[in-house]
């Protein structure tokens, strides 16, 4: 049986389960390299409280929820503020859109049925389901997780919506050093694959490339030498947004399956 990753240098872009992923890579004959691109996400309760109070006071025409944990956190914070019932009432009075099956599951348990939801867990999928909705002059609350969603916000504003974002969790950028190291390795052709497990990791690398004027070089590296590996559809969407068309993605969106799929890719493309 071919190991698939024999001698391949495989970068791990996440900061979770590094040991387990490293072991999986090594079992397949690969050389794991940790280059954390994730940064950290923190609960921004004090920053969110004024937004929650404003929602309760003023209401909204639409709520767009993008993560299940984000909804749960907002409800928890509203409970601590003594406005949980009023907050839920505002959601029930509005139109609701949902991204991802976990988000829809949380809404279902709350007795809230979205009028629009994506089929693939991606922002583009969500936008597609909202294309025929009338947002002209409508107040839309968009719940995000850790980072902005410019394509979604631009779409809503172009349709005439008055958009307010609410981020119960906010993102602190990762340390520059591991990104700079990976950047040099990509340019020098020193790594064979980079495993991305969240879209934040994708954006961290490409934002660094943009700021340092080397976006074309990084894109070329992924096109010609280094394989981009994605854990699932949302991460793949981020790669596509950055112009990366060659990628490996498992059908089962799990880290272990991602490494197996990468090994199969190399087995199928042995020269």
- Residue ending a domain, among 123, 153, 171, is 171
Collapse the DSSP code of 172 into the 3-class scheme (helix H, G, I; strand E, B; otherwise coil) and give the result: strand
Provide the number of structural domains found in the chain: 2
User: Is residue 59 domain-shared with residue 161, that is, in the same domain?
Assistant: yes
- pLDDT digits over 234-263, tens only? 899 999 989 999 999 999 989 999 999 999
Residues of the domain holding 63: 42-171
Strands 169-172 and 116-117: unpaired
In angstroms, the CA 88 to CA 150 distance is: 26
- pLDDT digits over 99-130, tens only? 988 899 999 999 999 999 987 778 889 999 99
- Residue ending a domain, among 117, 147, 171, is 171
Residue 38 contacts residue 174 (beta carbons within 8 Å): yes
User: Is residue 247 domain-shared with residue 162, that is, in the same domain?
Assistant: no
For residue 3, is it within any domain? no
Tokens linked to 240: 């596509």
User: Is residue 33 domain-shared with residue 73, that is, in the same domain?
Assistant: no
**Does 18 have pLDDT greater than 80?**
yes
User: Is residue 149 domain-shared with residue 212, that is, in the same domain?
Assistant: no
User: Is residue 63 domain-shared with residue 133, that is, in the same domain?
Assistant: yes
CATH code of 85's domain: 3.40.50.10090
Can you give the pTM of this predicted structure?
0.72
For residue 22, is it within any domain? yes
Residue 74 contacts residue 53 (beta carbons within 8 Å): no
């Amino acid at each position: 049986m071919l190991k698939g990753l024999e001698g391949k240098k495989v970068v791990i872009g996440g900061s979770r389960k590094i040991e387990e992923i490293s072991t999986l890579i090594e079992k397949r004959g690969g050389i794991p390299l940790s280059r954390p691109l994730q940064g950290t996400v923190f609960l921004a309760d004090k920053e969110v409280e004024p937004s929650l109070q404003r929602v309760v006071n003023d209401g909204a025409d639409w709520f767009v929820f993008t993560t299940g944990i984000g909804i749960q956190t907002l409800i928890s914070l509203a409970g601590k503020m003594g406005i949980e019932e009023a907050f839920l009432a505002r959601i029930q009075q509005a139109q609701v859109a949902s991204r991802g099956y976990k988000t829809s599951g949380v809404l279902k348990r709350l007795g809230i049925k979205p009028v629009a939801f994506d089929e693939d867990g991606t922002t583009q999928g969500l936008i597609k389901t909202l294309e025929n909705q009338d947002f002209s002059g409508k107040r839309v609350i968009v719940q995000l997780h850790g980072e902005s969603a410019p394509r979604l916000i631009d779409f809503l504003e172009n349709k005439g919506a008055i958009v307010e974002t609410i981020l119960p969790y906010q993102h602190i950028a990762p340390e520059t050093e591991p990104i700079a190291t990976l950047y040099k390795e990509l340019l020098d052709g020193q790594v064979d694959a980079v495993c991305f497990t969240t879209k934040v990791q994708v954006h961290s690398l490409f934002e660094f490339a943009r700021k340092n004027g080397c976006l074309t070089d990084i894109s070329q590296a992924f096109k010609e030498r280094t394989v981009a590996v994605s854990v699932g559809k949302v991460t793949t969407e981020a790669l596509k947004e950055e112009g990366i068309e060659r990628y490996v993605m498992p059908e089962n969106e799990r880290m272990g399956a991602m490494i197996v799929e990468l090994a199969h890719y190399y087995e199928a493309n042995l020269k």
